[in-house]
Structure formats: C-alpha cells, structure tokens
Structure 1
Amino acid sequence: MPKLSIIVPCYYNEANIPVTTQELLANEARFPADVEVEYVMVDDGSGDNTMQALLEFQRRAPGRVRVVELAGNVGSYNAIVAGMAHATGDCMVIITADLQDPPELMVRMLEYWRQGIKLVIGNRQDREETGLQKATANLFHFLMKRLALRNIPDGGFDYVLFDRQVCEEVLRLKERNSNLFYLMIWLGYAYVNIPYVRQKRKIGKSRWTLQKKIKLFIDSILSFSFSPVRAISVVGLGLGLIAVLYGFYIIGLRLMSPDEPQGWTTLMVVVLFVSAFQMVALGVIGEYVWRGLDAARNRPLYVVKQVHELKSSRESGRVQAGAEL
C-alpha cells in the first residue's frame, strides 16, 4: 500500500488551518482506495494560535497527523525540510496552508508518480493576484529562467509531489540559503509539469514580505548561477578598456596642448563611477563569502521544539524534542 505524506508549512495560519485541513480531508475521497495518507504539519515559530489549530486538527484525525513544532522561525523552506525529515511516506507533496493551490491536483500528481515519475510539478500558469504582486512574481521567475536554471517551468512553482528518493537526496545535501524547489530540479530527475491557476488568498494576510522575496531572489541567483560574478568580470573588462582609451586621450591632449588644464569634473566622475562599481563588486563577492562561512559553521537548519504524535483518540500523544540537522 503506497503512503503519501502531505507536508504543510504553517506560519501565522490559525485562521487558514480549519478551512485548509477540511479541504485536505475531503480531498482524500479522490485518491485510490489503496493509498494511505499522512499529514506532516510544521509550525514555523508562529506567534499566534497556529499550534492550537494544528493540535485540534490532530485530534480530528488521530494517528494520521504529525505536528512538528519548531523552536523559532527559520523560514518556509527550512520548515519544509523539517517536514521532509519527519515524513514517512513513499512519496510526498508540499502544499501551502493558505489554500491558494488546488488540493484536487494531488490526484493527477499521484497518478504520474505511480507511473514511475519521481518529480511532479504543479506550476502557476497564471495567478488571480493583480498589480505589483503579480508583476514582481512574474519578473522573478523570468529572471531565474534566464540567469539560473533554464529548464524550470514558466510561472514558478512551490506545489510539488516527489519520490522518497528525491527527498533523501535533498536532505543529504543540507543546502542552506538556497531555493528548495529549484534544488529538486537541479538534481536532474525528469519531471512532469501540470499547469494551473493560482487562486487569490481569501483568508488572512500573507507574511511573504518584500524583504523575504528579495532574499529568495538573491539566494536563488547565487545558488544556481554564476551570472553575478561573470557580470563583474565583464563590467571590469569594459571599464579597463575605457580607462585605456581615456588614458590615450589624455596623453594625446597633453602632447597637442601642453597648457591644457586638467579637468577636475571629469576626474571626479571617473573616480565616483569606478568606486561605485568596486563597492557593488565587493558586495556581490561578500554574498558568496558569507554563504561559504554559513555553510562552514554547519549550524542546524532548524531546531525542533516538540513533535506531537497522537496515536489514538485515547492517547495524549508522544512528544519528542531536540535539535536536528
């Protein structure tokens, strides 16, 4: 009997969880009868009543819900890794707690997995969001496809079903400051892409801030592309060529007009421009150096405060605590 683990990272989702979990339980009727389903709910250090909502869901489905409570907020990708480490299924699916992705799509994903496909991606063909949010998301995925991984689907994705083998490879890599979903594609497994329209969030407010989006963009570019370093080299060579030509111009000007005064404005423009480029170059190189330092520290991606497991309606649950890599 194949077992499907549904991993749901949660962060300030107390209002979403009752609705989302009801939809997930109702969606089980669409699965083949021989498929076993477990839920791995990860609380990413929420400061509201998310944990209480998750424990209530666990009481509604005893024996099938594992609640992983993290000690602090570590970001959605690290929270997903924690969920992957605690999942026991033959295949796993990641879905957000805000119900913007259709749970019914899991049925098609599972069909592909049973045909031998180890990675099935639900990518956003379009999204119901409008305005700046949609424009920035489209720009992000456009740049990533051009600068980092050319084989990623258009529109972006964070709704995937994958085999346990893929899970073990991702956990073995212990990547930090990276893009978890792009990492699955980087592994090289052939994947099937299922387009869908991402729904507008109906409950609660998104915690996916502009600062987090910028960090994700920087992490994704630096993890899967050498374009920033290559850009520094190209601009540096261009500036070097301009400097040589400008040097010949100054020498020629001096030879033809010995009394010609030196241009202070031109000199300051050149100095400021070159200095600005040097600062940008140091910043890009510093990002790579910092990531190397962060990897060398080998600190855990997350710290598990408690793992709540309710074996039956009469049991109070078994709790495990500790830090895990």
Structure 2
Amino acid sequence: MPKLSIIIPCYYNEDNIPVTVRELVANEANFPPEVSFEYVFVNDGSGDDTLGALQRARTLYPDRICIVDLAGNVGSYNAIVAGMAQATGDCMAIITADMQDPPALMVQMYAYWQQGFKLIIGNRQDREETGLQQLFARAFHVLMKKIALPNIPDGGFDFVFFDRQVAEHIITLQERNSNLFYLMVWLGYPYVNIPYVRRKREIGKSRWTLKKKAKLFIDSILAFSFFPIRAISVMGLVLGLAAFGYGLYIIGLHLFGSQKPEGWSALMVVLLFVSAFQMTALGVIGEYVWRGLDAARQRPLYVVKEVYV
C-alpha cells in the first residue's frame, strides 16, 4: 500500500485550518482505494491560535494528522524541510494552507509518480491575483529562468509532488538561504509539468510581504547563479576601458589641444559613479560571504518544540 504524506506549512492560518483539513480529506475519495494518507502540518512559529486549530483538527483525524510545532518562525522553506524529516510516506506533496492550489491536482500527480517520475510540478499557468503581485511573480520567474535555471517551468511553482528519494536528498543537503523548489529541479531528476490556475485567497491575510519576496529573490539568484559576480567583473572591465580611453583623451588635449580641460565637474561625476559601483560590488560580495559564514556555522535550519503524532 503506497502512503502519501502531504506537507502543509502553517503561519497565521488559524481560520484556514478547518477548511484546509476538510478539503484535503474530501479529496481522498479521488485517489485509488489502496492509497493511505498522512498530513504533516508544520506550525512555523505562528502568533495566533494556529496550533490550537491544528490540535482540534487532529482530534477528528488522529490516525492521519501529524503536527510539528517549531520553536520559532524559520520561514516556510525551512518549515517544509522539517515536515519532510517527519513524513513517513513513500511519496510526498507540498501544498499551502490557504488552499490557493487545488488539492484535486494531486490525483494526476500521483498517477505520474506511479509511472516512475520522481518529481511532478504544478506550475502556475495563470493566477487570479492581479496588480503588482502578479507582475512581481512573473518578472521574478522570467529572470530566474534567464540567468539561473533555464530548465524551470514558466510561471513559477510551489505546488509539487515528489518521491521519498527526492525528500532525502533535500534533507541531506540542509541548504540555507535558498529556494527549496528550485533546489528540487536542480537535483536533475526528469520532471512532469502540470499547468493550473492559482486561485485567489479567500480566507485570512497573506503574510508573504514585499520584504520576504525581496529576500527570496536575492536568495534564489545567489544560490543558483554567479551572474552578480560576473556582472561586477564585466562592469569593472568596462569602467577600466572607459578610464583608459578618457586618460588618452586628456593627454591628447594637453599635448595637442589649444583648450585645457577644466575637469572639476567631470572628475566629481566620475568619482561618485565609481564610488557607488564599488559600494554596490562590496555589497554583492558581502552577500556571498555572509552565506558562506551562515553555512559554516552549521546552525540547525529549525528547532522542533514538540511533535504531535
């Protein structure tokens, strides 16, 4: 009997939990009868009564629901790794607690897993959200596809179905300041891509702030691409050639020109431009150095306060 472990990271999802559990359990009827289920809810240091809502849900389904209560907020990706470490299924799926991703899609994902695929991705072909949120998401994934991982699907994704072998790789890597879903693609397993339309959030308020999005953007680029370092090298070379050319121009004016260059304004512009470039370059290099330091300290990705099984 194959066992499916569904990992659900939770952060301020008190009102979502009853609906989420109801939809997930109802979706079991769409699977073949031999499949057994395990729901691993990870409370990522929520400040509301998310843990209480999970405990109430567990009283209804004590044989299926496992709760991993983390000591503090470590971010959804680290919380998912904590769920992977606790899950016991032959295959696993990750879905958000706000039910913006359709649980019914997991039935099709499971069918592909039975055919031998280790990774099945549900990518957002479109989304019901509008405005800056949609624009930011599209720009982020287009840029990542261009400069970091050309084999990722269009539209972005955080709804995946994968084999236990993939989970073991992710747990072993203990990757910090990275993008968990891109890391799954980076492993190199052939994957199936299933497009779908992401639903609009109906309950609660998203905690996915602009600050968190910016951090994910920086983490994703630095974790999978050397583009920022190479861009600094290219820019330094361009500035060096420009400086050499401008130096020849000044020497020519002194030797052959009748008008001497005054130079103060041009010198200040060049000085300010080069200084700004140097500070930016130091900032980019510092990001890489800090990530190396964070990995060298080998602090745990998460601290488990208690597990309810």
- For 1:124, the equivalent position in structure 2 comes to 124
Code of the residue aligned with 1:297 in structure 2: it is R
Deviation at 1:261, TM superposition (A): 4.9
User: Bigger CA drift: 77-86 or 250-259?
Assistant: 250-259
CA distance in 2, matches of 1:149, 1:143: 9
- For 1:10, the equivalent position in structure 2 comes to 10
CA distance in 2, matches of 1:150, 1:162: 20
1:43-58 alignment, distance < 5 Å = 43-58=43-58
1:116-265 alignment, distance < 5 Å = 116-257=116-257, 260-265=260-265
- For 1:42, the equivalent position in structure 2 comes to 42
> What do residues 210-266 of structure 1 show as CA deviations (whole Å, max 9, x unaligned)?
000000000000000111011001111000000000000010111124772531000
> What do residues 127-156 of structure 1 show as CA deviations (whole Å, max 9, x unaligned)?
000011101111001101101100000000
CA distance in 2, matches of 1:209, 1:285: 26
CA distance in 2, matches of 1:236, 1:258: 33
Give me the identity figure in percent. Answer: 73
Code of the residue aligned with 1:76 in structure 2: it is S
Code of the residue aligned with 1:234 in structure 2: it is V
SS in 2 for 1:302: coil
CA distance in 2, matches of 1:261, 1:185: 57
CA distance in 2, matches of 1:35, 1:25: 13
CA distance in 1, matches of 2:31, 2:222: 39
> What do residues 288-308 of structure 1 show as CA deviations (whole Å, max 9, x unaligned)?
000000000000000000001
CA distance in 2, matches of 1:49, 1:240: 58
Code of the residue aligned with 2:292 in structure 1: it is G
SS in 1 for 2:96: coil
> What do residues 68-106 of structure 1 show as CA deviations (whole Å, max 9, x unaligned)?
000000000000000000000000000000000000000
Deviation at 1:64, TM superposition (A): 1.2
CA distance in 1, matches of 2:236, 2:299: 36
Code of the residue aligned with 2:305 in structure 1: it is K
Conserved 8 A contact 2:3-2:37: yes
Code of the residue aligned with 1:225 in structure 2: it is S
Does the C-alpha gap of structure 1 residues 303 and 182 become closer, same or farther in structure 2, counting only changes over 3 Å?
A: same
- For 1:95, the equivalent position in structure 2 comes to 95
Give structure 1 stretches of 5+ with no counterpart: 310-325
Code of the residue aligned with 2:263 in structure 1: it is G
CA distance in 2, matches of 1:18, 1:43: 15
- For 1:80, the equivalent position in structure 2 comes to 80
> What do residues 31-50 of structure 1 show as CA deviations (whole Å, max 9, x unaligned)?
10000100100000000000
CA distance in 2, matches of 1:64, 1:184: 26
CA distance in 2, matches of 1:282, 1:88: 45
1:276-315 alignment, distance < 5 Å = 276-309=276-309
SS in 1 for 2:305: strand
**Does residue 57 of structure 2 align to residue 19 of structure 1?**
no
How well do the aligned residues superpose, as a CA RMSD in angstroms? 0.8
CA distance in 1, matches of 2:228, 2:117: 34
Does the C-alpha gap of structure 1 residues 114 and 253 become closer, same or farther in structure 2, counting only changes over 3 Å?
A: same
CA distance in 2, matches of 1:127, 1:98: 14
CA distance in 1, matches of 2:259, 2:276: 32
SS in 1 for 2:160: strand
Conserved 8 A contact 2:140-2:217: yes
Deviation at 1:62, TM superposition (A): 1.0
Q: TM-score, normalised by structure 1?
A: 0.94
SS in 1 for 2:303: strand
> What do residues 19-69 of structure 1 show as CA deviations (whole Å, max 9, x unaligned)?
111000100000100001001000000000000010111111012111000
Code of the residue aligned with 1:233 in structure 2: it is S
CA distance in 1, matches of 2:256, 2:190: 67
CA distance in 2, matches of 1:61, 1:116: 30
CA distance in 1, matches of 2:47, 2:30: 34
Deviation at 1:287, TM superposition (A): 0.3
Q: TM-score, normalised by structure 2?
A: 0.99
CA distance in 2, matches of 1:70, 1:164: 22
